[in-house]
Amino acid sequence: MTVFLGYNVCMNKIVYQDKLLYPKILWQRPVHKYNATAGKVMVLAGSKNMSGAAMLACEAVFRSGTGILLLGFPESLSTIYKGVLPEAMTLELPESPGHTLAKKADTLILENAESCDVLIVGPGLSENAETIQLIWEVIFTVSKPVVLCADGIVAFTKGIEVMRSKEDETFMNEYLAKRHNELILVLNKGDAKKLAKALKIDIKLSSVEILAAKLDCTIVLTGEQTIIATNTGDTIITRLEGPEHVTDDSNSILTSIIGSFVAQNPGKHSEGIATAVYLHDLATKLASTSTGKKHILASDVIRYLGEAIKQAEEI
């Protein structure tokens, strides 16, 4: 065990995932099952200028095998989502003057999240100050597992920045420890740098275990390889050769797949996260190989997700 800046980091093991580590996660999924037994996922996404992010996230959740989806969004977007997501359960939420989620949406969010297996927060929510405050409070109030990406990561990082500017290290550590849910952060390199800076942690990006230990969470760092770092010190590295560039929305797709597999695999969340990462990376590789594109869109990844699951099941 290594002591770093006042907290412990258990350096246990590093595993390289060049093939599916937990095939039973896929093999044991029954072909015919009731929707409720395939997990229930709640997604908080969308704002006036970023309504498409929510639709991509919902499609990725469904294509990953989730049985029930509840999409929470600013109420003025109801005509958009109810028109294109007939299968989704929709939850219209109070909004700010800028047509983003308002602080007073918290009660409805918390009430509905309790009936779900996992809460996904981030795609297209915006960086509106009121929305950031809402996200921060939801993270520390909801009891179910939370998967953060994109604007959810921005809100979490800004919350830490504000707290550190007003309080000392002891207060911050005690406040962070108040969170009793499972937290999964899906970060790109830029997100990781900003989060480390907010926490005043001087680390290299290869040492995401430090962030995971400090925040008592699981971190999924994307890039040339995808690194999963747990709060126990275990690390899984996945690297499947793919395109030179994938749009930023790809992290939202990965987050959606992770959320789906966490919901479908109670008691096996770590295995579900590793499986989700492998499938996302395989779908990205298949999209690049099949289309011949060096630069692909998040929608390309979703399109090849079914084929990735099929190939993985046959291993």
Only one residue has tokens 């009660």, namely: 107
Pairwise CA distance, residues 25 & 275, whole Å: 7
Domain of 77, in residue numbers: 2-313
Q: Is 200 exposed, middle or buried (0-12, 13-18, 19+ CB in 10 A)?
A: exposed
CA 299 – CA 146 distance, rounded (Å): 24
What gap in Å lies between CA 59 and CA 299, rounded to an integer? 9
pLDDT of residue 30: 60
Total number of domains constituting the chain:
1
Query: What is the pLDDT at residue 88?
Result: 59
Tokens read off for 120? 């996904």
DSSP result, 259-289: HHHHHH-TT-HHHHHHHHHHHHHHHHHHHHH
Mind listing the pLDDT tens digit for each residue in 78-88? 988 887 776 55
Residues in a beta bridge with 121: 44, 148
Angle at 22 between CA 149 and CA 34, to 5 degrees: 75
Q: How far apart are CA 152 and CA 156, in angstroms?
A: 6
pLDDT of 9 reads 44
Q: Distances in Å between the alpha carbon of 16 and those of 226, 242, 274, 295?
A: 10, 17, 11, 25
- Rounded (5°) CA angle 293-254-107: 140
CA neighbours within 13 Å on the CB side: how many for 292?
0
Whole-model pTM above 0.75?
yes
Backbone angles phi, psi at 15, to 5 degrees: -120, 135
pLDDT tens-digit profile, the chain (315 residues): 333 333 344 456 889 999 999 999 987 776 555 576 789 999 999 999 899 999 999 999 999 999 899 999 999 999 888 877 765 589 999 999 999 999 999 999 999 999 999 999 999 999 999 999 999 999 999 999 999 999 999 999 999 999 999 999 899 999 999 998 999 999 998 999 999 999 988 766 557 888 999 999 999 999 888 999 998 888 999 988 766 556 667 899 999 999 999 999 999 999 999 999 999 999 999 998 887 766 788 899 999 999 999 999 887
**CATH value at residue 243:** 3.40.1190.20
